Amino acid sequence: MPRHPNPDLEGRILEAASRLWARGGERALTMRAVAKMAGTTTPTVYQRYRHRGDILSALRMETSRQLIETLRPARTLRQSAERYLQFALEHSYAYEVLFDGVAKSPSLHEPWPSFRLLRERLRPELGAGFRQYTRLMLALWSVMHGTAMLVIRGRFEGALRIQALHSCLDAIDAIVYATKLKQASHAGPKWPSTLILGEGKRSRVSGVPARKGKSRRVRRLTQT
- Sorted by where each begins, the domain ranges of the chain are 75-221
Query: Is residue 1 over pLDDT 50?
Result: no
Other CB atoms within 10 A of residue 77 CB = 23
SS3 state of residue 204: strand
Please state the φ and ψ torsions of residue 129, each to the nearest 5 degrees.
-75, 140
pLDDT at 220: 45
Other CB atoms within 10 A of residue 35 CB = 18
CA-CA-CA-CA dihedral for 33, 36, 39, 44, to nearest 10: 70
Express each pLDDT in 96-147 by its tens digit: 888 888 898 888 888 888 988 998 888 888 876 667 888 899 999 999 999 9
CA angle 134, 73, 111 (to 5 degrees): 40
Query: Is residue 168 over pLDDT 90?
Result: yes
- This prediction's pTM: 0.80
Q: What average pLDDT score do residues 214-220 get?
A: 44
